[in-house]
Amino acid sequence: MGQQYDIIIIGGGHNGLVAAAYLAKAGKKTLVLERREIMGGAAITQGLHPGFHCSTLAHAVGPLLPQVLKDLQLTRHGLELIEPPVRATALHPEGRAISIYADTAKTVSELERLSAHDAARYPEFEACIKRLGRVLAPLLTLTPPTIEKPTAGELWNLGKLGLKFRGLGKKDAFRLLRWGPMAVADLVAEWFESEILRALVAARGIYGAFAGPWSAGTSTALLWQAALSGEALGPATIVKGGLGALAQALGRAAVEAGAEIRTQVPVAAIKIEDGKAAGVVLASGEEIAARAVVSNADPRTTLLKLVDAVNFDPDFLAKVRNYRSTGSLAKVNLALSALPRFAALAGTSDFERLSGRIHIGHEIDYLERAFDAAKYGDYSPRPYLDITIPSLLDDSLAPKGGQVMSINVQFAPYKLREGDWHSRREEFGDAVCDLLSEYAPNLKELTLARQVITPFDLEQEYGLSGGHIFHGEQTLDQSFAFRPLIGWAQYRTPIAGLYLCGAGTHPGGGVTGAPGANASREILKDLK
Ligand SMILES: Cc1cc2nc3c(=O)[nH]c(=O)nc-3n(C[C@H](O)[C@H](O)[C@H](O)COP(=O)(O)OP(=O)(O)OC[C@H]3O[C@@H](n4cnc5c(N)ncnc54)[C@H](O)[C@@H]3O)c2cc1C
């Protein structure tokens, strides 16, 4: 074995970098090993066409935990967050649009054009989500309790949460208990009467999920969003320079704290000696020793591919194999010579309305039908699209006048019933652009370059098992004390000295930095 480290982190995704920065700040000799040529994992910026750069995968920040931003001094390390004035604009195929603004009063006057009922209900809904979010927010930075034998500390933390819950009052407390298991379509129907607003809000419940709005438990995602941002429709905050600039800032914070980062070094295996993690073996054959190994790779990759199965109890392995991680989201990125004209915005290029998320999927039934295709092994011909045009607010991404458009497409199943993603990639890209052209008729003539990333690519190129953008479904049975598995939600694994720190751990996916921060806290307790 070569040089000895305290900690090796497998993977330089944003959570791996957050963990590295905290661990190095605590004085641990930390090494990050990233298999790709750049850091960031799903939070990266790459060239799309000469002069055009795009957040290749994730396009808006989680939001990032404020504590991480502060502790790691990310602003000093060059991070610049940009919050658009509009949260989201939903486009109707018949040429109407509604926008949800950061400013509630503006949203209300917008909704008055749509429905007096919804305009009156929206501020009430927002206030309720804020109150529930305040109760749930402490969960984000809490290590989930061990279910079998909770420690005194864990019981104390849960007790504090219980008190906050009681403080909610009866009406909100019942809402909180009732909403989690509900289908998000039912939840929005209780609040709003217009289909387009229902669909816009409900879409946050199915984002990245293998689920339609009528699937049970899809309201949970709305509650997590409330915990993170205090809103049901959180801000589509972008990073100047794209999401890769966040990874750069985190990398600088980690290196300043003393961590070492190496790229283009895939880890082939985790070395186990006497039942304890002892280091890693690289694909090159090089071995590196460490007192602890922390994996930022997803749970299935870490536990099924990087560790020899003989080290685990068969029951545990069966549970890991049952951990659901089948993706349903694909990405299409476009380099455009100009901003397209949207029919729903009266053919104008309404800068402000296009500055947040642009939502396509105007009815609950539309979203459900989009999911139907994926259930039966095909991509949806009329998918739900979550679009951003970050170059509207960040001129570093495209030459003057040009734009980059980042499109999350649901649904696109990991496995196609007919053919494969290799042969059907461009046909899929065409279907997305055809649909979008119905809303922005001049889109195709403005397109200079197109990048299509399928769930299969997410697995092969970006290392996401099953192509799942969140390292595994975020359903109730795979959240909090069940993430990734019941009994193993404390960032530890059955192997002493082997930890998980990625989106497959609590509180899950999204560019938040929370799993990395929480994991580092637990690791430091053990390495004292
Ligand atoms: C297409 C797409 C769109 C998304 N959109 C959004 C969005 O708009 N907003 C949002 O908040 N979230 C979004 N997400 C989700 C979010 O990006 C992820 O949940 C989050 O970035 C995961 O971060 P992570 O650090 O836990 O893992 P990752 O970013 O997956 O990082 C894991 C790292 O480990 C590396 N690795 C894996 N195996 C090895 C190995 N054997 N050796 C060395 N290195 C290894 C990988 O290369 C990778 O760099 C999106 C994700 C995708 C894919």
- Our answer on whether the CB atom of 34 is closer than 6 Å to any ligand 1 atom is yes
Percent residues over pLDDT 90 in the chain = 90
Closest residue (by CA) to atom 48 of ligand 1?
A: 41
State how far the Cα of 144 lies from the Cα of 483, in Å rounded to an integer. Answer: 9
293: left (phi over 0), alpha (psi -120 to 50) or beta: beta
What's the 250 CA to ligand 1 centre distance in angstroms? 14
pLDDT at 9 over 70: yes
Residue with tokens 């309305």: 353
Substitution site in 35, 64, 233 for ligand 1 pocket (most atoms within 8 Å of beta carbon): 35
Lookup: tokens for 356 = 């947040």
pLDDT at 347 over 70: no
Mean pLDDT of 339-366: 89
- Our answer on whether the CB atom of 55 is closer than 6 Å to any ligand 1 atom is no
Split at pLDDT 50, 70, 90, the class of 349 is low
> In sequence order, what are the residues at sequence separation of 6 or more whose Cβ sits closer than 8 angstroms to the Cβ of residue 413?
210, 326, 327, 328, 373, 374, 377, 378, 379, 455
Substitution site in 9, 14, 284 for ligand 1 pocket (most atoms within 8 Å of beta carbon): 14
pLDDT at 512 over 70: yes
- Our answer on whether the CB atom of 463 is closer than 6 Å to any ligand 1 atom is yes
**Looking at residue 234, what is its pLDDT?**
85
What's the 356 CA to ligand 1 centre distance in angstroms? 22
User: Is the pTM for the entire model greater than 0.85?
Assistant: yes
> In sequence order, what are the residues at sequence separation of 6 or more whose Cβ sits closer than 8 angstroms to the Cβ of residue 485?
299, 316, 319, 320, 323
Q: Read off the pLDDT of residues 162-188 as tens digits, 9 standing for 90 and up.
A: 888 888 889 999 999 999 999 999 999
Q: Read off the pLDDT of residues 374-391 as tens digits, 9 standing for 90 and up.
A: 999 999 999 999 999 999
pLDDT at 2 over 60: no
Strands 276-282 and 287-295 turn out to be antiparallel
Closest residue (by CA) to atom 41 of ligand 1?
A: 267
pLDDT at 453 over 60: yes
Q: Which of 453, 509, 207 is nearest to 331 (CA)?
A: 453
What's the 328 CA to ligand 1 centre distance in angstroms? 15
**Residue 523 is inside which H or E element, if any?**
helix 514-526
- Our answer on whether the CB atom of 267 is closer than 6 Å to any ligand 1 atom is yes
Judged by average pLDDT, the poorest of 153-162, 244-253, 403-412, 498-507 is 153-162
Q: Read off the pLDDT of residues 114-168 as tens digits, 9 standing for 90 and up.
A: 999 999 999 999 999 999 999 999 999 999 998 778 888 888 888 888 888 888 8
State how far the Cα of 424 lies from the Cα of 280, in Å rounded to an integer. Answer: 37
**Looking at residue 439, what is its pLDDT?**
96
Substitution site in 456, 511, 512, 518 for ligand 1 pocket (most atoms within 8 Å of beta carbon): 511
Q: What is the DSSP letter of 303?
A: I
**Mean pLDDT, all residues of the chain:** 95
Q: Read off the pLDDT of residues 474-502 as tens digits, 9 standing for 90 and up.
A: 999 999 999 999 999 999 999 999 999 99
Q: Report helix angle 14-25 to 244-256, nearest 10.
A: 20
